Amino acid sequence: MKKNRMFIVSLAVMLVLVFAASGWTAAAPKPKGYPERPIEVVCQYGAGGGSDIFVRSLFNAARKDIGVTVNVTNMTGAAGVKASNYVLGQPADGYTIYNFSPEQLINTVMGREDYRLFTPLVNVQQDESIFYVRGESQFKTIQEVVAYAKANPGKLQFTGTTPQSPDEIIIMQFAKKAGIKIKYIPFDKAPESHAAVLGGHLDILHEEPGVIMSLIEAKKLRPLVAFTEKRLPPWPDVPTAKEIGYDITMGRWRGLAMKKGTPPEIVNWLASVLEKASKDPSYTTIAKKSLLDLRPGWLGPAEYGKFWESEYKVYKEILDDLGYTKKK
């Protein structure tokens, strides 16, 4: 127990240092006459998913500082295009906030929407990508998986959430670097992919650890490789992809955006309010449980915008490379 507490304390210290270092410190002044009525937060994923839990828990913590009601609206479908269109259809007055995710950049690459129509607010989380097998699986290490895939090309079946998602990209990138041929079978709802792997119908699951923590603790799912910079504290035996020679560090990030043209003083004030909320215990307890505190995710509006640019280039390159984009 004591060791555990030490760990938390040191983590907290680390977090504070990280936030301090990120250069976002001075609280922005409250804009005049804002907010004066309820704010709507649009989430393009279904209730109960990782992103939904993220916005709800963050704005639960931010509510008292924002001072007005915040309503979360779930608007699923069409890989987020629908929700994006809805947000862009609202006036840029600061009363509509959007849960912005990597899909928006991928959709831009695929020509379905344009991320440049949004103005960045903040990035809050940087999640971890991990590959898992079920407890009874024959694979003990990721090397065994690669060896098996080399011996049986096209046999191994990977699963993750939705086609052309960050999940698919990371799996395909891994396959390419490892020189193996595999199948990717996506599910629109994440829990179905968990069930397929647990039932032994598919071999390898890509997922962020938060939503399946209980299954990992019960040893029903075993992590094989993490796409992080360092090994993850709960599983010191699980290697990172970098260690075994595949230089991929990736993971879904979760942040917020607004329609382009929203007054900067509103953006800056919301950013400072949200930064405070992201340190509030009612948010951090949930984040810590989902291992969301391990990688520094916080980015202020300006950094987040630059981050979009660089991520867009990364996705474009990978998607071109994997042959998803139309050859002109």
- Residue 4 binding another protein, by CB under 8 A: no
- Residue 164 binding another protein, by CB under 8 A: yes
- For 253, the 3-state DSSP assignment is strand
Q: Which is nearer to another protein, 198 or 271 (CB)?
A: 198
User: Any residues with CB less than 8 A from the CB of 140 and at least 6 apart, and which?
Assistant: none
Residue selected from 186, 223, 300, 301 as contacting another protein according to rule CB under 8 A: 186
- Residue 46 binding another protein, by CB under 8 A: yes
- For 120, the 3-state DSSP assignment is strand
Q: What is the separation, in whole angstroms, between the first and last Cα of the chain?
A: 60
Q: Segment contacting another protein (CB under 8 A): 1-9, 180-188, 228-236, 246-254?
A: 180-188
Residue selected from 66, 202, 292, 294 as contacting another protein according to rule CB under 8 A: 202
Q: Which is nearer to another protein, 53 or 271 (CB)?
A: 53
Interface size with another protein, residues (CB under 8 A)? 61
- Residue 154 binding another protein, by CB under 8 A: yes
Q: Report in angstroms how near the CB of residue 1 gets to another protein at its nearest.
A: 15
- For 258, the 3-state DSSP assignment is strand
- Residue 61 binding another protein, by CB under 8 A: no
Name residues contacting another protein, limited to 83-112 (CB under 8 A): 85-86, 110, 112
Token pair listed for 17: 């240092």
Residue selected from 177, 289, 306, 313 as contacting another protein according to rule CB under 8 A: 289
- Residue 11 binding another protein, by CB under 8 A: no
- Residue 151 binding another protein, by CB under 8 A: no
Q: Report in angstroms how near the CB of residue 235 gets to another protein at its nearest.
A: 16
- Residue 220 binding another protein, by CB under 8 A: yes
C-beta of residue 274 within 8 angstroms of C-beta of residue 92: no
User: Any residues with CB less than 8 A from the CB of 204 and at least 6 apart, and which?
Assistant: 131, 132, 133, 139, 145, 156, 157, 158, 159, 197, 224
Q: Segment contacting another protein (CB under 8 A): 22-30, 186-194, 295-303, 304-312?
A: 186-194
Q: Report in angstroms how near the CB of residue 94 gets to another protein at its nearest.
A: 14
- Residue 184 binding another protein, by CB under 8 A: yes
Residue with tokens 């129509």, as numbered in its chain: 117
Quick one: which H or E segment has residue 160? strand 157-161
Burial 252-267 (b: 16+ CB within 10 A, else e): bbbbbbbbeebeeebb
Cβ-defined contacts of 303-307 (< 8 Å, 24+): 303/22, 303/23, 303/24, 303/123, 304/120, 304/121, 304/122, 304/123, 304/255, 305/119, 305/120, 307/120, 307/123
Name residues contacting another protein, limited to 246-285 (CB under 8 A): 285
Q: Segment contacting another protein (CB under 8 A): 20-28, 81-89, 227-235, 263-271?
A: 81-89
C-beta of residue 178 within 8 angstroms of C-beta of residue 149: yes
Q: Segment contacting another protein (CB under 8 A): 26-34, 47-55, 246-254, 257-265?
A: 47-55
User: Any residues with CB less than 8 A from the CB of 242 and at least 6 apart, and which?
Assistant: 229, 248, 249
Residue with tokens 């939705």, as numbered in its chain: 162
- Give the bridge partners for 256, in sequence order: 99, 122
Give residues in contact with another protein (CB under 8 A): 37, 40, 46-49, 52-53, 56, 60, 71-79, 81-82, 85-86, 110, 112, 154, 157, 162-164, 183-186, 188, 191-192, 194-196, 198-202, 211-215, 217-218, 220, 285-286, 289, 322-326
